[in-house]
């Protein structure tokens, strides 16, 4: 799927964003190496720290759908600037695909990065104590 179509999928998620506290709506779409696409939105909570970002919501959808290898992540907000995914979301995406391309669209700006540029030294499965570096 083209990046523009991925952005359309991510933008559609803005309507489902639950952001009564920040009023900052975020949509995300993640594309697996098979071409399957999964979308998500931010889901806030009265206990603020429980908020789930759009990117992690999309990753959870993908993993629940049986997809763990990703090639592109697209983020859309309704702010002017193109925002980068937060560090927690970079870490979660890196768990499955450290070399994912990341695209971000604001109303008046677009940006793209490699995930490794945003999080060059992600903590990995093999780093986790006691994991033995097992299979994903
Ligand atoms: N948010 C995301 O969904 N993704 C990010 O990468 C950064 C922040 C959400 C969390 C919260 O609902 C709102 O944006 C403001 O932080």
Domains of the chain, each with CATH number or no CATH: 3-130 (3.40.140.10)
20: left (phi over 0), alpha (psi -120 to 50) or beta: alpha
Name the band, by pLDDT with cuts 50, 70 and 90, for residue 129: confident
The contacts of residue 123 (CB under 8 Å, 6+ apart) are 91
Q: How far is the CA of 115 from the centre of ligand 1 (A)?
A: 17
Distance CA 7, CA 43 (A): 19
Shortest-distance Cα residue to atom 14 of ligand 1: 24
CA distance 1 to 72: 10
Residue 135 confidence (pLDDT): 66
Q: Indicate the pairing of strand 110-114 with strand 101-105.
A: antiparallel
- State the distance from the centre of ligand 1 to the C-alpha of 54, rounded, in angstroms: 7
Residue 57 confidence (pLDDT):
98
Kindly list the protein residues whose Cβ atom lies closer than 6 A to any atom of ligand 1.
19, 22, 24, 26, 42, 44, 51, 53-55, 85-86, 89
- pTM value is 0.94
pLDDT reading at 130 higher than 80: no
């Amino acid at each position: 799927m083209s990046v523009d179509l991925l952005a359309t999928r991510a933008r559609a998620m803005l309507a489902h964003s639950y952001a009564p506290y920040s009023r900052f709506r975020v949509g995300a779409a993640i594309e697996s190496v098979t071409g399957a696409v999964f979308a998500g939105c931010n889901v806030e909570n009265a206990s603020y720290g429980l908020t789930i970002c759009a990117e992690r919501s999309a990753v959870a959808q993908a993993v629940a759908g049986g997809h763990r290898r990703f090639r592109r992540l697209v983020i859309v907000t309704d702010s002017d600037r193109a925002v980068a995914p937060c560090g927690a979301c970079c870490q979660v995406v890196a768990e499955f695909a450290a070399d994912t391309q990341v695209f971000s669209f604001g109303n008046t700006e677009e940006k793209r990065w490699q995930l490794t540029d945003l999080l060059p030294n992600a903590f990995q499965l093999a780093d986790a104590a006691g994991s033995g570096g097992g299979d994903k």
